[in-house]
Amino acid sequence: MTDDFFDAQVAASYDADHGGTDPALIAQTVDVLADLAEGGAALEFAIGTGRIALPLAARGVKVCGNELSAAMLAEMRNKPGGADIPVVLGDMTHVRTPGAFSLVFLVFNTLDNLTTQDAQVACFENAAAHLEQGGRFLVETQLPPLQRLPFGETRLPFAHDPDHWGVDEFDVTTQSYHSHHLWMKGDKPEHLSVPFRYAWPAEMDLMARIAGLKLEHRWADWHRAPLTNTSLSHISVWRKP
């Protein structure tokens, strides 16, 4: 994983163009995270612009983070309260943050930014190493949308707004995919293509087992709805015995 795809230009527009700014969804996300932390400290892997960490800290949860991109971290530092959250700059597969935590969390499909299975396993192991006994690791990510792909097709459009077009391009033999974005900024088009790797929930359960964690919850959304065959994403929680 590199920070090449999260430079200053992407960081400046990340919340609006990628992360989402729906206050109700952010509040619901924070409610769940605060409940799972159970009064303990929380560590966000890939804290980014602080979209979730800052309102979680405002709820009274002690929050720390790690972040690979200096540009994303700079965006968080410019927000109210952003300078108060301790953050270690580095890759979430191995960078260590001092302390033990009751909750480690990784949201908004960010696990897919780790483009090999080995890197994703290392992320689970690193999360487990930060957890106190009984602590939890939460991952929010999409379910691979392969049911929507006709047999043999490799491209799936996901955005067609007046100023933004997006297409995912899949390789089902490697579980890798690229998200291709095209934005119109006035009369100037801007293109971004980012590599990812998807993993199935059962595969993540095996990663968790390797790291010494056991599945506790799996939901379809932040309202804790049950996961079904038509769910588009999942929120999974594993606990350290």
For each of the chain's 241 residues, which pLDDT tens digit applies?
A: 555 678 888 778 778 766 677 999 999 999 999 999 999 999 999 999 999 999 999 999 999 999 999 999 999 999 999 999 999 999 999 999 999 999 999 999 999 999 999 999 999 999 999 999 999 999 999 999 999 999 999 999 999 999 999 999 999 999 999 999 998 988 889 898 999 999 999 999 999 999 999 999 999 999 999 999 999 999 999 999 9
| Contact (CB, 8 A) for 39 and 134 | no
Domain that holds residue 170: 146-193
Q: Report yes or no on 2 lying in a domain.
A: no
Residues 125 and 213 both lie in one domain: yes
Q: What pLDDT, on a 0 to 100 scale, did the predictor assign at position 186?
A: 86
Domain boundary among 193, 208, 224: 193
Q: What pLDDT, on a 0 to 100 scale, did the predictor assign at position 18?
A: 64
Residues 166 and 89 both lie in one domain: no
Residues 129 and 86 both lie in one domain: yes
Q: Report yes or no on 134 lying in a domain.
A: yes
Give kind and range of the element (H or E) at residue 158. strand 155-161
Question: How many other CB atoms are found less than 10 A from the CB of residue 108?
Answer: 18
CA distance 81 to 50: 9
Q: Report yes or no on 31 lying in a domain.
A: yes
Q: Report yes or no on 42 lying in a domain.
A: yes
Residues 36 and 83 both lie in one domain: yes
Q: Which two tokens stand for residue 41?
A: 């400290």
Q: Give the DSSP per-residue string, 40-86.
A: S-EEETT-TT-TTHHHHHHTT--EEEEES-HHHHHHHHTSTTGGGS-
178 Cβ contact partners less than 8 Å away, ≥ 6 residues apart: 168, 169, 193, 194, 195, 196
Residues 221 and 188 both lie in one domain: no
How many domains, in total, are found in the chain? 2
Cα torsion angle, 30, 221, 224, 132, sign: negative
Q: What pLDDT, on a 0 to 100 scale, did the predictor assign at position 19?
A: 63
Q: What pLDDT, on a 0 to 100 scale, did the predictor assign at position 226?
A: 98
Query: Model-level pTM?
Result: 0.94
Q: What pLDDT, on a 0 to 100 scale, did the predictor assign at position 14?
A: 77
Residues 153 and 67 both lie in one domain: no
Residues 67 and 135 both lie in one domain: yes
Chain segment 30-86, per-residue pLDDT in tens: 999 999 999 999 999 999 999 999 999 999 999 999 999 999 999 999 999 999 999
Q: Report yes or no on 3 lying in a domain.
A: no
| Contact (CB, 8 A) for 64 and 99 | yes
| Contact (CB, 8 A) for 99 and 77 | no
Q: What pLDDT, on a 0 to 100 scale, did the predictor assign at position 1?
A: 55
Residues 54 and 167 both lie in one domain: no
Residues 111 and 217 both lie in one domain: yes
Q: Report yes or no on 52 lying in a domain.
A: yes
| Contact (CB, 8 A) for 137 and 124 | yes
Residues 25 and 135 both lie in one domain: yes
Among 93, 94, 71, residue whose Cα is nearest residue 4: 71
Q: Report yes or no on 1 lying in a domain.
A: no
Residues 37 and 118 both lie in one domain: yes
Domain of 88, CATH number, reads 3.40.50.150
Q: What pLDDT, on a 0 to 100 scale, did the predictor assign at position 229?
A: 94
Residues 21 and 139 both lie in one domain: yes
